[in-house]
Amino acid sequence: MAIAALSACGKTVPSEEPVRAVKVLAVGSEGIRSGSEYAAEVRPRVESRLGFRVAGKLLRRMVEVGQQVKAGQVLAQLDAQDLLLSNDAARAQLSAAVANRDLAAADFKRFKDLREQNFISAAELERRDANLKAAQAQLDQAQAQVSAQGNQASYATLVADAPGVITAVDAEPGQVLAAGTSVVRIAQDGPRDIVFSVPEDKVARVKVGSAVEVRAWASQSVYQGKVREVGAIADPVTRTFTVKVALPSSDKLPLGSTVSAVPQALDRSGSSVIKLPTTALQHDGKNAAVWVVERASMTVRLQSIGIATADGNEVVVSSGLAPGMEVVVAGVHVLSPGQKVTIYQPAVPAAVAPPAVASAPAAK
C-alpha cells in the first residue's frame, strides 16, 4: 500500500502551454514604392579609332587626350619618304608609257599611209594598230598607278574626319605601325548615350522607345531619355544585357561621367501589392512562411507564402495570403502550430490627477 502511494505521488502532471500575447497585422493591399535603378555611364554615340591607311614609322602626333579637334585637323604624321619615292617611280613609268604610246601612234600613222598606197598588206596595218592599243593600255595603267601612289603619299597624314574630342592615344612617335593600327580615339560631337547593364530576368521588359529617367550624380540634374538599343547577346562574364539610352542633343553631360538610370518599364510604383514587415517571416523547412491567427479558436497556424521582392524593410508577398487575414508580426519564433494566443494590446497610461492645492486657513 505504501509503495503504491509513493508511485502515485511520483507522476508529473504536464504543464499547460502558455497563452502567448502576439502583435498582429491585418493583411491589406497597398502601393509599392520600389523600382530598378542602375549605375550608368555617359558615352559618345560615335567613337572612332583612327589609324593610317598605310604602314610606316610615326614621326609626330599633334594631339593629346582631352583635346578638342575640328574636322580636317592634322592629328599625326608618318615618315612618307618611301611613299614619295614610290610616287616618283610611278611618274617615271608614266613618262615612259607616254613616250611608247606616242611612238606607236606615229608608227601606226605611217603604216596607214602606206596601206592606202597598197605598199603593205592589211595584216601589217592591223599589227601596228594592236601595238598602238597596247601602248595606250600601258599608259592608262601608268596613269592609274600614279594616282594610287599619290593617294598613298597623302595617307601619311592622319586628319580628323569629324569634330570631337580625343578620348585615348594608342601610339607614340617612333613606333612602326601597320596599316590600320589605331593611333587615337576620337569621340565625335553630337548625341550621347547613357549605357548600363540589365540582368536577363528583366531585359524582356525593357523595350526600344521606352522612357528612362537619368539622374546626374555630380549636379543632381534630371534628364529624360528613351531606350535606343537593347543588346541582343548577354555579356559572357556578367550575363547582363547592355542598354543604350538616347539623350536629346541639348543635354550636354560630360563624357565618362556616372549617372543613375531608372527605366520606367521596371518601375512598379503605385501598383497594389501585399506587403509584410520582415519581422513576420518564418521558415517552414522549405519556403518562407508566416503565422496566421484563427479568430474563431484564437490559435495560430503556419502559412507558406511566396516572396516577390523586397521594398525597404518590408517584403512583397506574391502568393499565400489574401486581404483580411491577420498575421503575427512580433514574437514569431516562440509560437507553435495550434498554440493559443491573445492579441497584444499596448498599455494605456492612466491619466495623472493634478496635484491638490492646499486651501488657505480661514481668517479668525
CA distance linking residue 156 with residue 195, whole number of Å: 35
- pLDDT the model gives residue 114: 85
Identify the CATH number of the domain defined by range 81-153: 1.10.287
pLDDT tens digit sequence for 271-300: 567 888 888 888 777 788 898 988 888 888
pLDDT tens digit sequence for 17-58: 678 888 888 887 765 555 678 889 998 888 889 999 989 999
Q: Return the amino acid letter for 315.
A: V
The whole-model pTM stands at: 0.55
Work out whether the CA dihedral 320, 326, 330, 335 comes out positive or negative: negative
Work out whether the CA dihedral 323, 324, 330, 331 comes out positive or negative: negative
Q: Where are the domains of the chain?
A: 20-32+270-343, 38-44+190-266, 53-78+156-187, 81-153
pLDDT tens digit sequence for 314-344: 888 878 888 888 889 887 888 888 888 888 8
Name which of 254, 258, 247, 259 is nearest 191 in CA terms. 247
Which strand ranges, in their side-by-side order, compose the sheet holding 29-31? 29-31, 272-277, 314-319, 306-311
Look at domain 53-78+156-187 and name its CATH class. Answer: mainly beta
Grid cell for residue 25? 497585422
Indicate the pLDDT class of residue 1, thresholds 50, 70 and 90.
very low
Identify the CATH number of the domain defined by range 20-32+270-343: 2.40.420.20
Rounded to the nearest integer, the mean pLDDT of the chain is 83
Average of per-residue pLDDT across 173-184: 92
Q: Across the chain, which distance is largest between two alpha carbons, in Å?
A: 178
CA distance linking residue 320 with residue 289, whole number of Å: 9
DSSP 185: E
- pLDDT the model gives residue 269: 59
pLDDT tens digit sequence for 106-155: 888 888 888 888 888 888 888 888 998 998 999 899 888 888 887 788 88
- pLDDT the model gives residue 32: 58
Instruction: 91-98: list long-range contacts, CB under 8 Å, 24+ apart.
Output: 91/146, 93/142, 93/145, 93/146, 94/139, 94/142, 94/143, 94/145, 94/146, 96/142, 97/135, 97/138, 97/139, 97/141, 97/142, 97/143, 98/139, 98/142
Please classify residue 87 by burial: count the beta carbons closer than 10 Å to its beta carbon, then call 0-12 exposed, 13-18 middle and 19+ buried: buried
Indicate the pLDDT class of residue 6, thresholds 50, 70 and 90.
very low
3-state SS, residue 165:
strand
Using alpha carbons, list the distances in angstroms from residue 277 to 21, 22, 31, 37, 317: 18, 15, 14, 23, 10
Beta-bridge partners for 56: 177
Grid cell for residue 149? 601612289
Q: Return the amino acid letter for 240.
A: T
Look at domain 38-44+190-266 and name its CATH class. Answer: mainly beta
